[in-house]
Structure 1
Amino acid sequence: MLRRLLIAPVGPHIQQGALLDGIQALEISVRPQPAGVLSLQEWCQSLLQSRHSTSSVGLKVYKPTTPGFRGRIITTRENLWSGRPYRPLTEGLRRTGGRNNQGRITSWHRGGGGRRLYRLVDFSRSQSEDTAVVDRLEYDPNRSARIALIKYPEGSSGGDFRGFSYILASQGVLPGDQIRSGASSTIRPGNMLPLSAMPIGQEIHNVELLPGRGGQLARAAGTSATLVSRGTDGYAVVRLPSGTQRRVLASCSATVGALSNPQHKNRKAGKAGASRWAGRRPVTRGVAMNPVDHPHGGGRGKQKGRISQSPWGKQTKGMKTRKRRNPTDAFIHVSRHAAKNKQRG
């Protein structure tokens, strides 16, 4: 009969547990392990270690214990709040699966994914100029950047009925820091000021297009815009992450610094299931379709037989999609294409 031992490490001794067939337990004294040799307790702990090892700041690189974990890289959440979000500033989020009100697919490759609560983020922060305190940093599944829960003092007009508010978290902002909004605020990460009160060359994010509407530009993780110049006509020139230089009203506000989670661009899903968790469905190649479904479809081979096109016959791979008579052309100081060609030249 095969007998199995239950061994439990106890200090310098090893207590040999009772055999499964009922034989009385024994206690064996073992000499301390020499230097450089793992004890049984250390060896057991090494087996219980996590599947990942952090190789870079802000990234979690998984060990290749399975084919799905091989090459999987995600961003760390070490200093983030591990509990549930602040419930008064959340609401339900209805998933459409890429369908419109007629049930037809208008946005491909969407569907599934985990359930989410939408966090009501304050992009304007123009209700109060009082000093707020960062209560905690949180993960937001609805955006790539981190968010911060701030607390306004009692009697302030900012925040909800308890004085709490969600904002985009800037790089370098930690729980306990004080942040302000308004023209009298100091130039430090997290503060929101009008463009007229910022120095030239300042790194900013969450830039407004109209005063009081709330930030609309440079809101992705790790991104930032730059205040290039400020004229006498009431406009300022801002260089966006795409390279476009755009004229914005100097009375519009922006937040100082770059956005948090700069390692977001270095993520790797590692397996198809990770994309399904995020609500992304598989992408079908056009050459694998029928001619009725895609311009690349059909034929006896795998050649598309034409230049790359979209399912609706529009050229891809470098073709400009901006409207020729766009009303906002008057606000484009330098286009991203001209800026890119200038860098190459």
Structure 2
Amino acid sequence: VNPDLHKGAPHAPLLEKQHQKSGRNNNGHITTRHKGGGHKHHYRVVDFKRNDKDGIPAKIERLEYDPNRSANIALVLFADGERRYIIAPKGAVVGQVVANGPEAPIKAGNNLPIRNIPVGTTIHCVEILPGKGAQIARSAGTSAVLLAREGIYAQVRLRSGEVRRVHIECRATIGEVGNEEHSLRQIGKAGATRWRGIRPTVRGVAMNPVDHPHGGGE
């Protein structure tokens, strides 16, 4: 448990209700097995675009836990008085100032177009299409590296080793995603997995022939 995380309630204007799907689609059929139950939680509206506050500095007010993702989130207060959630970068501290836009300095937590980022920089929260919002390298401890720029495209190497080509007008955030020790957590007991909405995984061999290719047999 991170002692720096906010202990109180989340920022209410940035919450939305979430309906539990339990792995079902709009026909009620199970499309993802082993889902259901778990604790209720609200969705935290995270700003993945960060493209309409260029040139307006923001201060990190607090770091918060988010039940909907592995990364922590940061509540930032912009100079114009608006508050938003962003993905908390590695090393983020309360009181830190973050900036958006082409003029932003190359500093962890700042968001700018890839054409303004030096080659070799570690980045996260990378857009695939300009203006769509970050889709790559958003989970805890992840990052990507800007390898090269050629014309209107840039090459970005992901943690998996895959190299993706993205438009230089796509935006990215400098640094890595925080909460990198997320993968080391001890779940402790079966019930803690159930709290997260994950149901038991039954082996195919233990089923009947009607239920699974491995079913049946003595």
What's the TM-score once normalised by structure 1's chain length? 0.62
**Structure 2 Cα separation of the partners of residues 92 and 252 of structure 1:** 30
Task: Measure the CA separation in 2 of the matches of 1:208 and 1:102.
Answer: 32
Match of 2:100 among 157, 178, 181: 181
- Mean CA deviation greater in 102-111 or 122-131: 102-111
Counterpart residue number, 2:13: 88
- CA offset at residue 77 of structure 1? 2.3
User: Aligned pair 1:255/2:173, yes or no?
Assistant: yes
The answer as to 2:184 corresponding to 1:266 is yes
Task: Pick the aligned partner of 2:27 from 67, 92, 102.
Answer: 102
Deviation at 1:274, TM superposition (A): 0.6
Match status 1:275 vs 2:193: yes
Q: Residue 182 of structure 2: SS of its match in structure 1?
A: helix
Tell me the residue number matched to 1:31: none
The 5 A counterparts of 1:77-226 are 77-129=2-54, 130-154=56-80, 162-226=81-145
Which aligned runs of 4 or more in structure 1 are off by greater than 6 angstroms?
none
* Aligned 8 A contact 1:77 1:139 in 2: no
Q: Which has the higher contact order (CA 8 A, sep 6+)?
A: 2
Alpha-carbon separation, structure 2, partners of 1:297 and 1:146:
42
SS of equivalent residue, structure 2 residue 62: strand
**Counterpart residue type for residue 136 of structure 2:** L
Give the drift of 1:287: 1.0
Can you give the 5+ residue segments of structure 1 that lack an aligned partner in the other structure? 1-75, 155-161, 301-345
Measured in 2, the distance between the counterparts of 1:149 and 1:270 equals 30
The 2-side partners of 1:134 and 1:191 are apart by 12
Distance in 1, Cα, partners of 2:68 & 2:117: 30
Look at both structures and tell me which one has the larger radius of gyration over its CA atoms: 1
Q: Which residue of 2 aligns with 1:246?
A: 164
Residue 103 of structure 1 deviates from its aligned partner by: 2.0
Deviation of the 1:281 alpha carbon: 0.3
Amino acid at match of 2:20: R
CA RMSD of aligned residues (A): 0.9
CA shift for structure 1 position 196: 0.9
How far 1:252 moved relative to its partner? 0.5
For residues 27-72 of structure 1, the C-alpha deviation after alignment (integer angstroms, 9 at most, x for no partner) is xxxxxxxxxxxxxxxxxxxxxxxxxxxxxxxxxxxxxxxxxxxxxx
**Post-superposition offset of 1:96:** 1.3
Aligned length: 217
Q: Match of 2:202, SS?
A: coil
CA distance in 2, matches of 1:106, 1:268: 28
Number of the residue aligned with 1:4: none
Unpaired runs of 5+ in structure 2? none
Question: What is the CA-CA distance between 1:80 and the residue it aligns to?
Answer: 0.7
Q: Secondary structure at the match of 1:226?
A: strand
Query: How many percent of aligned residue pairs carry the same amino acid?
Result: 51
Matching residue of 1:342 = none
C-alpha separation in 2, matches of 1:228 and 1:291: 51
